[in-house]
Amino acid sequence: MRPWKLFVIFALALGLMAGCQQAAPPTAGTGEETAALGPKTLVLAGHDSFSVSEEVIAQFEQANNVTLQFLSLGDAGEALNKIILSKDAPLADVFFGVDNTFLSRALDADVFVPYESPLLANIPDELKLDPENRLLPVDFGFVNINADRLWFEEQGLPLPETLEDLTKPEHAGLLVVENPATSSPGLAFLLATICHFGEDGYLDFWRALAANDTLVSDSWSEAYFEHFTVGSGGAGDRPLVVSYSTSPPADVLYASDGRTEPASVNVNPPDGTFRQIEFVGVLAGTKEPELAQKLVDFMLSPPFQEDIPLQMFVYPANQDAQLPDLFVQFAEVPADPAQVAPEAIEANREAWIQAWTDVMTR
Amino acid sequence: MKKKLRQTSLLLLYAAPLVFLAVFYLYPLARILQTSFRADGAWNFAGIGETLARPYFWRVVWFTTWQAVASTGLTLVVGLPLAYMFARYDFRGKSLLRALTTIPFVMPTVVVAAAFTALAGRSGLLNQWLQAFFDLDTPPIQLMQTVWIILIAHAFYNVSVIIRAVGGFWSNLNPSLEEAGAVLGANRWRLFREVTLPLLTPSITAASLLVFLFCFTSFGVVLILGGLRYATIEVEIYRQTVSFFNLPVAAFLSLVQMGLTFTVMAVYTRAQAKASLPLETRPRQRTARTPRNWRQRALLILSLVAMLTLLLAPLLALVWRSFTLGGQGFTLQYYQALTENQRQSAFFVPPLVAVRNSLMYALATLFLSLFLGIASAYLLDRPRSWMTAILDPVFLLPLGTSAVTLGFGYIISMGPLRTSLWLVPIAHTLIAAPFVVRTFLPALRRLDPRLRESAAVLGASPLRTWAEVDAPLLFGAVLVAATFAFTISLGEFGASLLITRPDMPTMPVVIYRALGKPGLLNYGMALAMSVILMAVSAVSLVVIERFRIGEMGEF
């Protein structure tokens, strides 16, 4: 036994770790530790679906002599809760990713400061849900139903056109949905059915769906990649899935066989789609309010907005932003999405989900 | 003077795990509980009465408990025979096979669920074969979203805990005790029941307890494979915290969960401390033998084949799919796609960097948890007093604590450390250290004190006694503990609730990120990264297992 050997190994490992620490960008902070000489650091926190091009980030960093640091805080609900809990010692300067189902919770918690960005002028009024502009719309997307085009052609079955069609015997065992308690598209679809059938009728619809052998998955990834016939590459057995109107373009962009037309098509029943709007806001307590506002401006301006569709698969909020061809071709915006007020969602979320769970587990 | 110095350094050594626990466990926990029950400046316990009055709450508590007991039982039934094979027989490819059985431990639940569905789902491979073979109209295997798939998945995940913890202990048992029994005319079954089993009890109960705790706080398996109908307390805590932001109810549920696990642990640790006795141990090379006759060989092959189908089939299904997804025959394009930044994303990293990140965190966790866990074990091995009686279960408590609650506790209590890279190995260590304690302590307790006494009589200093007696005899247990610490970190238990840095993604993070966007290429990349994760863990485990310092490691 030679203890010194152990020590050498120990020291080496620690050195390795220290090296890794140095190789990484500086740790977060709200700008306190940045020296006056180098670029300032601005922290942008978001949910884990946030993505952006290198080149777009570089544009902002160079123009403002700033280093952007990103934090990923979990899914949309988790991320917002973390932001609210850390109110007294903010994690970041700017937070992106509050959606309209969580808007009320975010505004009630009083964690964002108002900012009247000049770029709001280019954003349609229907997307602006906070009159005080504490949260500014960045993008929107539609939760809808995706169908396996070839499957329906082969079976000689017409695509469903209304929500009611989904409960017909010929559509038995075809649909997979997500659990609204654990998945945001799941909640969005539940909200659409509440809008369409009313608070008195939606549970009957879900009873009929359950009786029609509808499968419930806990997450979108599960539903899409494991059960949806297109998403799973043929291993799943559900040709209908609750997903997004922008999933078909992704089926082409991320194809493994070079296809030029998506294997899935959008089914947008009247009131059967739900618009999710995502917002950005400057966090109260930021030490760099001006830079934070500049970042918000940048996120609403065309360079960032035109990067959004193929990075995050949602539509840009700014009307001046050009849509990529794939979106124009395969991701038409649904005609009449369901409308549910954010206040109503926050007030009834638990009761609606509980009632839904009771019906679906009976 | 010298003695005083020694006592001080010993005290510092013992203080380290206590300080760690206080700072990174008790403090954040206390803060989040306070925030939850004291939202508007006044204590408010209204949520508790409400929760207790709901029959749903009692159903969840009951389900959590019985599924954990049943899962532990199933894991033991599958694991013990395998632990025996690995402990008592030598055969080619043994360490590789043992490493393979540990792979499930590091796999993200989403990926394992996909493998299970591909194999045993309604239109899975097994059903297709059975339907074709017996000419059936309906799929005969209907496991998905039943309690059976939960139990099977738990056994699949945890069987390596039994194989490693019990098998490691078993391999050092002196076979002469059994041989003596055999000479006296006992048959095999009686030998096992009256000699081997009692000797193994400390490690079997320790391993069962760890499995029980994992199943008791199970989250992903229940949520993904169990479907809507089943919820553990941990699942309910997640729902209350994340979707409803109902912190008082979530905090109360966390307390219930901790209370229940603490009770189980207190009973266990009490029984354990009394039950263990010093034993003579033997190097494992001398206790294992090659199968001698055709009967032993057949038995060995049969049980290994059974294990391969049970444990490795889902993993092989994953490997297969990562090369054939999309139905155009064999392809490497998903592995190739991993190395290309197709959309010029700012968060792209090549797979090797993700491997490096994961290994860095795992190495840091390994050293930190070995140091703290071994110090804790020595502290617990001191003469029994009220202090060890309390500390024993307390060291285990992080395993029985909700990751959701603790993650939120970190957010409000850790200041600048919240976004530091160091918080990741620290959080992993919180889960890994109890494993180190539980695998190391049984070995420490069976160490014959006469060995140390003889060394002291012969004039060895305490440090030298430790280096020449403890270290070589316990090194095997350290290696087993090291494999646990390493795999826990690679699999990122409970760390999903920490803040992640998108510029420093680990292998699991790359997998989750790929699964966040539609498109077959993304799915294929997630599968390919999972296969890389499997390969990296298998190689690392073999390396750890073969690790030797001089004579050490023979035990």
Residue range A189-202: mean pLDDT, rounded: 96
* B293 in contact with A, Cβ within 8 Å: no
Please tell me which of the candidates A49, A91, A227 has its beta carbon nearest to residue B418: A91
pLDDT-wise least confident of A27-41, A278-292, B512-526: A27-41
Q: What is the predicted pLDDT for the residue at B383?
A: 82
Percent of chain A with pLDDT strictly greater than 90: 85
Residue range B529-548: mean pLDDT, rounded: 90
Separation between Cα atoms, residue A137 and residue A133, nearest integer Å: 9
Q: Is it the case that residue A33 has pLDDT exceeding 70?
A: no
Let me know if the fold of A39-140+276-328 is the same as that of A141-275+333-360: yes
* A348 in contact with B, Cβ within 8 Å: no
pLDDT in tens, A7-29: 445 555 545 544 444 434 434 44
pLDDT in tens, B219-274: 888 988 888 889 999 999 999 998 899 999 999 999 999 999 999 988 888 877 77
pLDDT in tens, B445-495: 888 888 888 888 888 888 888 888 888 888 888 998 999 899 989 987 655
* B340 in contact with A, Cβ within 8 Å: no
Contacts of B501 in chain A (CB under 8 A): 24, 70-72
Partner residues linked to A175 by β-bridges: A240
**Min distance A17 CA to chain B CA atoms (Å):** 6
pLDDT in tens, A220-259: 999 999 999 999 988 889 999 999 999 999 999 999 888 9
Q: What is the predicted pLDDT for the residue at A128?
A: 96
- The residue ranges of every structural domain in chain A are 39-140+276-328, 141-275+333-360
Q: Is it the case that residue B204 has pLDDT exceeding 50?
A: yes
Q: What is the predicted pLDDT for the residue at B521?
A: 94
Please tell me which of the candidates A16, A25, A257 has its beta carbon nearest to residue B503: A25
Q: What is the predicted pLDDT for the residue at B442?
A: 85
CA A145 from chain center: how many Å? 16
CATH of A39-140+276-328, one of 3.40.190.10, 3.30.360.10, 2.60.40.1180, 3.30.70.141: 3.40.190.10
Contacts of B518 in chain A (CB under 8 A): 224, 231, 243-244, 247, 250-251, 254, 313
Q: Describe the crossing of helices B147-171 and B109-120 by its angle, rounded to 10 degrees.
A: 110
Q: What is the predicted pLDDT for the residue at A27?
A: 41
* B327 in contact with A, Cβ within 8 Å: yes
Separation between Cα atoms, residue A200 and residue A65, nearest integer Å: 56
**Min distance B3 CA to chain A CA atoms (Å):** 21
- B343 and A53 in contact by Cβ < 8 A? yes
pLDDT in tens, B331-365: 999 999 999 998 889 999 999 999 999 999 999 99
- B549 and A70 in contact by Cβ < 8 A? no
Contacts of B325 in chain A (CB under 8 A): 233, 256
- Which ranges constitute the DSSP H helices of B381-506? 386-396, 403-413, 423-446, 449-457, 462-465, 471-491
Separation between Cα atoms, residue B480 and residue B528, nearest integer Å: 28
Partner residues linked to A228 by β-bridges: A238
For the domain that residue B345 is a member of, what is the CATH number?
1.10.3720.10
Pairwise pLDDT comparison (B229 vs B366), residue with the higher score: B366
SS3 B322: helix
Please tell me which of the candidates A81, A221, A247 has its beta carbon nearest to residue B245: A81
Separation between Cα atoms, residue B427 and residue A7, nearest integer Å: 24
ipTM value, please give it: 0.89
pLDDT in tens, A296-328: 999 999 999 999 999 999 999 999 999 999 999
CB A217 within 8 Å of CB B507: no
Contacts of B332 in chain A (CB under 8 A): none
Q: What tokens does B47 get?
A: 């949520």
Residue range A189-216: mean pLDDT, rounded: 96
- B331 and A256 in contact by Cβ < 8 A? yes
**Min distance A197 CA to chain B CA atoms (Å):** 23
Q: What is the predicted pLDDT for the residue at B276?
A: 67
pLDDT-wise least confident of A129-143, B128-142, B400-414, B493-507: B493-507
User: C-alpha dihedral over B476, B15, B424, B529, to 10 degrees?
Assistant: 10
Most confident of A36-45, B190-199, B532-541: B532-541
Please compute, for residue B177, the number of CA atoms within 13 A of its CA located in the half-sphere on the CB side. Answer: 19
Residue range B543-551: mean pLDDT, rounded: 76
Residues of B numbered 244-273 whose beta carbons fall under 8 angstroms of chain A's beta carbons: which are they? 244-246
Separation between Cα atoms, residue B357 and residue B345, nearest integer Å: 19
Separation between Cα atoms, residue B197 and residue B190, nearest integer Å: 10
Q: What is the predicted pLDDT for the residue at B139?
A: 86
Task: Report pTM.
Answer: 0.90
Q: Is it the case that residue B423 has pLDDT exceeding 60?
A: yes
Which residue range forms the structural domain that includes residue B29? 11-546
Q: Which of A130, A175, A183, A123 is nearest to A152 (CA)?
A: A175
* A78 in contact with B, Cβ within 8 Å: yes
Q: Is it the case that residue A90 has pLDDT exceeding 90?
A: yes
SS3 A240: strand
* B350 in contact with A, Cβ within 8 Å: no
How would CATH label the architecture of A141-275+333-360?
3-Layer(aba) Sandwich (3.40)
Q: What is the predicted pLDDT for the residue at A9?
A: 53
Burial letters A153-175, b for 16+ CB under 10 A, else e: eeeeeebbeebeebbeeebeebb
Q: End-to-end distance of chain A based on CA atoms, in angstroms? A: 65
Q: Which of A129, A96, A50, A65 is nearest to A340 (CA)?
A: A129
Chain position carrying tokens 């850390």: A86
CB B317 within 8 Å of CB B125: yes
Q: What is the predicted pLDDT for the residue at A171?
A: 96
Calculate the alpha carbon distances from B330 to B322, B530, B554 in Å: 9, 17, 43
pLDDT-wise least confident of A96-105, B183-192, B207-216, B225-234: B183-192
Residues of A numbered 114-173 whose beta carbons fall under 8 angstroms of chain B's beta carbons: which are they? none
Q: Is residue B5 part of a domain?
A: no
Could you tell me how many CB contacts below 8 A there are between chain A and chain B? 213
Judging by DSSP bridges, how do beta strands A240-244 and A136-148 pair with one another?
Answer: antiparallel
- B421 and A78 in contact by Cβ < 8 A? no
Nearest CA in chain A to B326: A233
Residues of A numbered 304-333 whose beta carbons fall under 8 angstroms of chain B's beta carbons: which are they? 310-311, 313
Contacts of B38 in chain A (CB under 8 A): none
Burial of A38 (0-12, 13-18, 19+ CB in 10 A): exposed
Pairwise pLDDT comparison (B280 vs A37), residue with the higher score: B280
Please tell me which of the candidates B118, B242, B472 has its beta carbon nearest to residue A81: B242
Please tell me which of the candidates A2, A71, A181 has its beta carbon nearest to residue B499: A71
Chain position carrying tokens 């602006």: A128
**Min distance A301 CA to chain B CA atoms (Å):** 18
* B503 in contact with A, Cβ within 8 Å: yes
Q: What is the predicted pLDDT for the residue at B494?
A: 58
Contacts of A238 in chain B (CB under 8 A): none
pLDDT-wise least confident of A243-247, B35-39, B41-45, B393-397: B41-45
Q: Is residue B2 part of a domain?
A: no
Chain position carrying tokens 């290429």: B521
Chain position carrying tokens 């494993």: B435
Please tell me which of the candidates A24, A182, A256 has its beta carbon nearest to residue B521: A256
Percent of chain B with pLDDT strictly greater than 90: 40
Q: What is the predicted pLDDT for the residue at A34?
A: 43
Q: Is residue B424 part of a domain?
A: yes
Q: What is the predicted pLDDT for the residue at A20?
A: 44
Please tell me which of the candidates A74, A216, A256 has its beta carbon nearest to residue B325: A256
In this prediction, residue A31 has a pLDDT band, given cuts at 50, 70 and 90, of: very low
Q: Is it the case that residue B497 has pLDDT exceeding 70?
A: no
Q: What is the predicted pLDDT for the residue at A37?
A: 60
Separation between Cα atoms, residue A221 and residue B410, nearest integer Å: 28
Q: Is residue B551 part of a domain?
A: no
The chain-wide mean pLDDT, for chain A, equals 90
Separation between Cα atoms, residue B441 and residue B477, nearest integer Å: 9
Indicate which of A4, A82, A98 best probes the interface with B, i.e. most B CBs within 10 Å of its own CB: A82
Nearest CA in chain A to B472: A1
Q: What is the predicted pLDDT for the residue at A1?
A: 35
